[in-house]
Every structure is written in C-alpha cells, then in structure tokens.
C-alpha cells in the first residue's frame, strides 16, 4: 500500500511539528464529516479495526482512528471526544519507555475500566495551574483505555514509536446516514447514537425553530433592502402573490427595518432660546449681553418693539438681530500668516479681518465678535508662487539655467556641456549628476545649506507616487502603493443588474476620478493600459452602469499586476539618442480629431494599403477610401517638406497595436519580456504575420537573420 505519514502542521498546544494519519469521522467547530482518507483506504481500515477489536479485552466502540509517529503530546484532555466512550491506544514499534501518564478519575471506574498497572501515583500540573494525580501506563504492545476527559501526557522514549489511537468523536450524532455507511464499510464499530430525553428533544426542536426563524428574518431583510426599502404592506402583498407560507407571511407582517424607522422620525426643529448662543449670518457668536438684556427687560417687550419695526420678521430673526443698549467695545482680531517654506514680505505679512458694514446697515450686532476657525489654516494664497520664485532665483544665482520646455527644470552646463540637472515638483526635487564632479557636488552642498530638506534619498526612492529603483540597465519605475490605494466604485446588487441604465452625476464623478488615476498610471509606468483607459474615458459623458462595471474589472486586473515595472534604459555619454512615439491613430475613438507633426521622422505602419499609397509619386483622391486619402495627403506633404520616411512592418511587429486594441497586448507584453526594447523588422518580401508564422519565423526576425539561418 502506497501511503506515508508526512509533516503537515504545527503540533497541538505548541509542541514540535507532528506526523500523523487520521481516518474515520471528524469534528471541527460546527463542521462534522468523514475524512477523505477513509474512502481511499477501506481495506486497510478494515484490517486496523479488526486488529484493535481483537486486542481489546472488552468489546469497545469508536468512530475514528489516528496513527501517530514519534509524536509527543503535552498534558491535555480530549474535549472533542464523546465522553461516554473510552479512548483506546496501542503502542507499536521498537522503543523503550514511552508510556502514557493518565489522571485517576471516578469516571474510569464508572465506565468499568480496570487498572492494569501498579505504578505509584505521580502528580502533574495542568495548563490551568491545577495539580492532578495519576499513574504511568506502559503502551508498547499493550492496550490502554482511559476516559477522554481525563488529563493525560506522553512520557519520554527512545526509538521508533508508533501509536494507534481509537476514539468516538463528539459529532457522531450529526453524521448523515451516508457518512455512517462509509464508516461501517471501513469496519468501524460505531456506537449507537445516544437516545434523547423528552426535554432534550423539545429543546433541540425549539432551537431548530429559532434558527429557522432567524434565517427567514435575514432573508426578509435582504429582500426588503433589494427592493429599495419598500413598505411592509408591499412586501406582504408580494409574498402572498408568490404563495409564501403562513409563517413567512406572519414574520413579514411583524418585520421592522431600523433604517425605515429612522426615516420616519421627525427631525427636531432648532428653535432659538435664551439659553442658546445664536450665530448670526456672518458666522459670529452672539454676545452674552443679549441674554442679560432679555432677562431684565422681558422677552415680550423686546419682541413687540421688533415686530412693530417689521411685520414679516420671525421670532428667530428678531432674537438674532436684537441690539442691546450697551455693548462691550469692539474687538478686532488680527491674524498673522506665514508663507510655507519662505518668510513673508513685510508689506503683506499682516492681515486684518474686520466685519462687513452690510450687517451693520441691517441692524445686526456685529461689533463684538470672536472668530472660531473650523479647521487649521496655513500659508497664504500666493505661497506656492513665492516658493517657486525663491527656488528659481537661488538656482539661477548659483549658475543653473531654467529650461524652456519645462519651467520646473534647471540644468547646469560647463562650456556648453550638460553636467547636471534638477527637476522639481512643489518641494520634491530630483537631482542628476556625477558623484565624481567636484563642481557639481559643490552646487549640491550650497542647495543643502540653503534649503533644509528632511530626507535625501539616492538610487531607491518614491517620487510623486512612482517608486524608482536603480538597476544595472538603468532605472525601474513601479507604483505598487498607488495601485493599492485605488478603490472600486461601489454599486449595490440592484444597480449592478441595470447595466444599460445611465449613470448619475455622482457616479460620473467617481468614474472620472478612477479613470483619471488609471490614466496617470498608464502614462507613468503601465502603457499596456492605454487603450482600455482611453476608450473608457471616451464614454464618461454618456456612460452607463456597464461602463462602471468594466472600469471596476479593469481596476481588478491592474491590482493583479501591482508589481509591474517599466525599465528606463541608461545610455552611454556619446550614444546617439532617437525618440520613438507610439500613437493611437484610431481617430474614430476620439471626438477631438488629431494633429499634424512638422518634424522630420519616420512613420511605421502595418497597413500595406497606406504604405503603397505613400510610396506612389502622386496620391490620387478617389474611390471608396476618399477620407483615408485626404488624411494621407498630410503625410505626403511631410514627405516632401521634411523628408519623412515610411516603413512597413507586419502586424505582430507593430508595437502600437497594444494602444488601440482592448485585451490584445501581445506586442507590449513581448516588449516587456525583451527588457523594454523593440526592433523595426525589415522584410523585403513584405510577408504577413500569418505567412511568417507558417514559415516558422519569429515575429521580430529580420530578413538577414532568415538568410543566415537558411545557410546553416
């Protein structure tokens, strides 16, 4: 028989790792059943059960068998075994000592378990700190029986020790007839199920009824919530139409929803009183003097005077605009603001906050005021501009030049040669230069002395949500933390089923936020998302619930590849640099048309029709493809004006395919596998991708490589 005990899990009560095989019935929490190994080795179990039945002196019953190999158990009780059936163990193997200490209990005598040992009583301390007494019993080649609830512990041994244990699980009464039949087929001597008394049967029945009643209540709540918290009458009527049982109808009539009860409550009206500090429309606390005045003069007199002045005024407005005869001298609060990162200029460092004369004209009491800010305020509105000016002036003062292409990038050149570069985003800056250049290091030191930044990180850091890691080929860019922070748009079950329904303004806002974040991710480090994100963004203004669901699905796919990295290759000092742009040429996907490039370059297309037309001397606009011909006239003009080159590649060598086809990113995945490198394939025969595949050519194999392989 092909079986072997394996190291499977941590030992019980913190012991070393154990090796065991379990057969028969099991109980784990509220779960009961039969081990799969029981069905795998029925003949083996028949032999084991018959072997144990032959060795015991008194016929015993059990539902489970465990085979332990060199496993030492600390002091414990088998609380998950049935208490009225004894444990039966038998020691096998070549070992010395290795007995089992068992607590002396009254239950052992009640079960008729005879003492087969004359060993002296020995005390043990339980995990609860209790001292108990028992005897050590030999196990090698001998049957030992003891109550499951008695404390017991394995003694030390030397050699190979295999213990065969049989017991009855507490979940025997929960086993199905099919499971009991499996145990009988395997030869288990199953004990009869204990008979339940009348009270126990009644309690069990009542418990089952309560459990069923709670289940029905949960189902009613889910139905009530799924229908938009409809009224109880509608719920009962719907159940009656479905011919629901009388019990379900009764529970539906008694059903009460806490959310609906809260909605029925009448919201309290906030009526002003003499004990309430009232806020005037400007947001200032009312003076304590109004309470004193009203208490002395009488509320009725005050109200009569105020009503005579304006008949339409309400009592709340009257109390808010009451003006006492005496007021404390006006207090003006002066708040001093300091710009972030730089000191404020002297001419505008102080700001005075004074009340508006508008409320004085209305008769409101606004002279006495105390400002209560709702949240902390830092800096001034023009602080970012002042910060940028201070940084730019300092960097230009130490010899750096601001670039025209990016106003937040400064370069340092020596004799026209680029030696260093600094790029900033608010107060986060990237520095690039040689560690061996003393002049550049001097510039860095001046910057450190002028601006006291907290941390200076090198080679491995996070910049604007992008994790930058220096590797041998260059730099790897990834955004795992940014991806983890993205959240799906929540839709309830009813809303998800309405796939064709239009989204509301809130859902459109959530959709823009999610797709905007994914668009930034695609621009920074995940170009394979460009097509999916771009097409979904085109649907936002006329989006449906299906658009939201597809956006959530895209986010789940992004999270599965949260550790995706983009490689930025390092270049040698004198290496010529060329710029390649992948462009989405599917203008039908965008409502804003396209643009025309006026720089010399090379257009790579996989359209044989486009390539042939652009290689003709004159492009004639005619036929069913007039629109395409008109657009190609722009490229034809660039050919004449800037020397634009046209190249053709087969479809599997066109890297831009991944930008226009959702779910078809084979080219960009190949680009990632090639460590972010690509090739413009040269094929003089201009064979299609299908024909090249039939001839056994790789997607990026060139014509010259084919000739070389053919010669060999």
Look at the pTM and tell me if it is higher than 0.75.
no
Check whether residue 228 and residue 209 sit in a common domain: yes
Token pair 């060993």 is found at 119
Q: What are the pLDDT digits (tens) for 579-623?
A: 777 665 555 555 445 455 456 678 888 888 888 887 776 666 666
Check whether residue 175 and residue 112 sit in a common domain: yes
Check whether residue 164 and residue 36 sit in a common domain: yes
Residue of 60, 56, 58, 49 whose CA lies nearest to 24: 49
Residue 649: pLDDT band (50, 70, 90) is confident
Check whether residue 560 and residue 622 sit in a common domain: no
Check whether residue 589 and residue 500 sit in a common domain: no
Q: What is the pLDDT of residue 62?
A: 93
Residue of 548, 489, 481 whose CA lies nearest to 521: 481
Q: What are the pLDDT digits (tens) for 83-94?
A: 889 999 999 989
Residue 357: pLDDT band (50, 70, 90) is low
Choose one of 129, 154, 185: the last residue of a domain: 185
* Domains held by the chain: number: 5
Q: What mean pLDDT value characterizes the chain?
A: 76
Check whether residue 668 and residue 582 sit in a common domain: yes
Give the pairing of strands 645-648 and 602-605: parallel
Q: What are the pLDDT digits (tens) for 624-634?
A: 777 777 778 77
Cα torsion angle, 493, 499, 505, 510, sign: positive
Check whether residue 492 and residue 618 sit in a common domain: no
Check whether residue 581 and residue 540 sit in a common domain: no
Residue 63: pLDDT band (50, 70, 90) is very high
Q: How far apart are CA 623 and CA 614, in angstroms?
A: 16
Percentages of the chain per state (helix, strand, coil), in multiples of 5: 40, 20, 40
Q: How far apart are CA 701 and CA 163, in angstroms?
A: 66
Residue of 527, 559, 486 whose CA lies nearest to 672: 527
* Residue 644 is assigned to a structural domain of this protein: yes
Check whether residue 497 and residue 549 sit in a common domain: yes
* Residue 180 is assigned to a structural domain of this protein: yes
Q: How far apart are CA 23 and CA 381, in angstroms?
A: 75
Residue ranges of the alpha helices (H) in 503-544? 505-524, 530-538
Cβ contacts of 541 within 8 Å, gap of 6 or more: 508
Check whether residue 120 and residue 246 sit in a common domain: no
Q: What is the pLDDT of residue 604?
A: 87
Distance of CA 471 to the CA centre of its chain: 28
- DSSP assignment, residue 148? T
DSSP labels for 31-62? EEEE-HHHHH-HHHHHHHHHHHHHH-SS----
- Name the percent of the chain lying above pLDDT 90: 14
* Residue 373 is assigned to a structural domain of this protein: no
Spell out the SS3 assignment of 166-190: EECEHHHHHCCHHHHHHHHHCCCCC
**Between 211 and 152, whose confidence is greater?**
152
Q: How far apart are CA 152 and CA 13, in angstroms?
A: 13
Check whether residue 546 and residue 631 sit in a common domain: no
CA distances from 127 to 47, 124, 130, 166, 543 (A): 37, 10, 7, 25, 64
Residue of 485, 590, 580 whose CA lies nearest to 534: 590
Q: How far apart are CA 502 and CA 542, in angstroms?
A: 7
Q: What is the pLDDT of residue 588?
A: 53
Q: What is the pLDDT of residue 600?
A: 65
CA dihedral 307, 308, 312, 318 (to 10 degrees): -30
> Are 702 and 682 spatial neighbours (Cβ–Cβ below 8 Å)?
yes
Residue 166: pLDDT band (50, 70, 90) is very high
Cα torsion angle, 102, 106, 112, 117, sign: positive
* Residue 287 is assigned to a structural domain of this protein: no
Give the full edge-to-edge strand order of the sheet including 131-137: 122-125, 131-137, 100-103, 152-154
Q: For residue 93, is it left (φ>0), alpha (ψ between -120 and 50) or beta? A: left
Give the pairing of strands 122-125 and 645-648: unpaired
Choose one of 421, 456, 491: the last residue of a domain: 456
> Are 666 and 652 spatial neighbours (Cβ–Cβ below 8 Å)?
yes
> What angle do helix axes 246-254 and 232-241 make, rounded to 10 degrees?
170
* Residue 343 is assigned to a structural domain of this protein: no
Check whether residue 540 and residue 598 sit in a common domain: no
**Domain span at residue 440?**
383-456
Q: How far apart are CA 686 and CA 650, in angstroms?
A: 7
Q: What is the mean pLDDT of residues 92-108?
A: 88
Q: What is the mean pLDDT of residues 493-515?
A: 90
Q: How far apart are CA 170 and CA 173, in angstroms?
A: 8
* Residue 123 is assigned to a structural domain of this protein: yes
């Amino acid at each position: 028989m092909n079986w072997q005990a394996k190291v499977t899990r941590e030992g019980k009560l913190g012991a070393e790792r154990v090796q065991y095989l379990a057969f028969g019935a099991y109980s784990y929490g509220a779960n009961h059943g039969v081990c799969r190994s029981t069905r795998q080795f029925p003949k083996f179990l028949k032999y084991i059960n018959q072997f144990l039945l032959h060795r015991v002196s008194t016929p015993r019953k059990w539902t489970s068998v465990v085979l332990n190999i060199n496993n030492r158990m600390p002091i414990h009780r088998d609380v998950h075994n049935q208490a009225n059936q004894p444990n039966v163990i038998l020691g096998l193997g070549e070992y010395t000592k290795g007995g089992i200490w068992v607590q002396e209990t009254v239950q052992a005598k009640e079960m008729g378990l005879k003492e087969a040992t004359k060993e002296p009583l020995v005390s043990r301390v339980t995990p609860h700190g209790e001292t108990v007494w028992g005897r050590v019993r030999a196990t090698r080649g001998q049957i030992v029986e003891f109550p499951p609830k008695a404390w017991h512990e394995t003694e030390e041994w030397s050699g190979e020790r295999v213990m065969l244990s049989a017991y009855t699980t507490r979940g025997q009464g929960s086993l199905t007839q099919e499971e009991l039949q499996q145990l009988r087929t395997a030869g288990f001597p199953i004990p009869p199920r204990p008979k339940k008394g009348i009270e126990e049967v009644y309690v069990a029945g009542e418990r089952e009824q309560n459990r069923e009643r709670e289940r029905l209540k949960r189902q009613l709540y889910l139905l009530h919530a799924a229908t938009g918290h409809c009224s109880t009458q509608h719920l009962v009527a719907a159940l009656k139409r479905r011919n629901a049982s009388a019990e379900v109808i009764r529970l539906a009539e008694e059903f009460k929803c806490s959310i609906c009860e809260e909605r029925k409550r009448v919201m309290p009206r906030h009526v002003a009183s003499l004990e309430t500090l009232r806020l005037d429309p400007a947001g200032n606390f009312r003076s304590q003097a109004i309470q004193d005045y009203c208490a002395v003069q009488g509320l009725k007199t005050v109200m009569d005077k105020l009503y005579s002045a304006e008949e339409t005024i309400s009592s709340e407005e009257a109390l808010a605009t009451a003006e006492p005869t005496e007021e404390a001298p006006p207090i003006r609060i002066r708040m001093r603001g300091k710009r972030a990162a730089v000191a404020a200029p002297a001419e505008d460092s102080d700001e005075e906050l004074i009340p508006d004369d508008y409320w004085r004209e209305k008769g409101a009491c606004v002279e006495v005021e105390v400002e209560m800010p709702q949240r902390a305020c830092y800096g001034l509105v023009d602080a970012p501009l002042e910060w940028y000016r201070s940084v730019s002036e300092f960097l230009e003062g130490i010899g750096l030049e601001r670039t025209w292409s990016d106003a937040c990038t400064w370069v340092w050149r020596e004799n026209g040669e680029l030696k260093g570069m600094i790029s900033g985003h608010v107060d986060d800056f990237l520095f690039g230069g040689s560690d061996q250049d003393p002049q550049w290091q001097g510039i860095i030191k001046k910057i450190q002395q002028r601006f006291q930044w907290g941390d200076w990180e090198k080679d491995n850091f996070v910049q604007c949500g992008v994790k930058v890691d220096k590797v041998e080929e260059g730099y790897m860019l990834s955004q795992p933390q940014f991806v983890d922070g993205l959240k799906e748009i929540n839709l309830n079950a009813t809303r998800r089923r309405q796939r064709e329904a239009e989204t509301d303004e809130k859902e459109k806002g959530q959709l823009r936020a999610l797709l905007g974040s994914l668009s930034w991710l695609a621009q920074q480090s995940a170009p394979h998302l460009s097509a999916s994100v771009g097409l979904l963004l085109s649907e936002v203004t006329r989006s449906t619930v299906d658009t939201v669901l597809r956006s959530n699905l895209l986010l789940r796919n992004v999270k599965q590849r949260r550790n995706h990295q983009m490689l930025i290759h390092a270049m040698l000092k004198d290496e010529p640099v060329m710029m390649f742009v992948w462009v989405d040429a599917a203008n039908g996907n965008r409502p804003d048309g396209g643009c025309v490039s006026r720089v010399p370059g090379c257009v790579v297309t996989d359209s044989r029709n486009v390539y042939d037309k652009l290689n003709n001397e004159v492009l004639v606009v005619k036929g069913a493809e007039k629109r395409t011909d008109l657009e190609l006239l722009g490229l034809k003009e660039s050919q004449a004006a800037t020397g634009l080159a046209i190249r053709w590649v087969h479809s599997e060598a066109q890297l831009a395919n991944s930008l226009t086809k959702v779910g078809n990113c084979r080219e960009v995945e190949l680009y990632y596998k090639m460590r972010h490198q690509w090739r413009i394939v040269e094929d003089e025969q201009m064979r299609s991708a299908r024909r090249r595949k039939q001839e056994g050519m790789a997607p990026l194999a060139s014509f010259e490589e084919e000739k070389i392989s053919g010669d060999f």
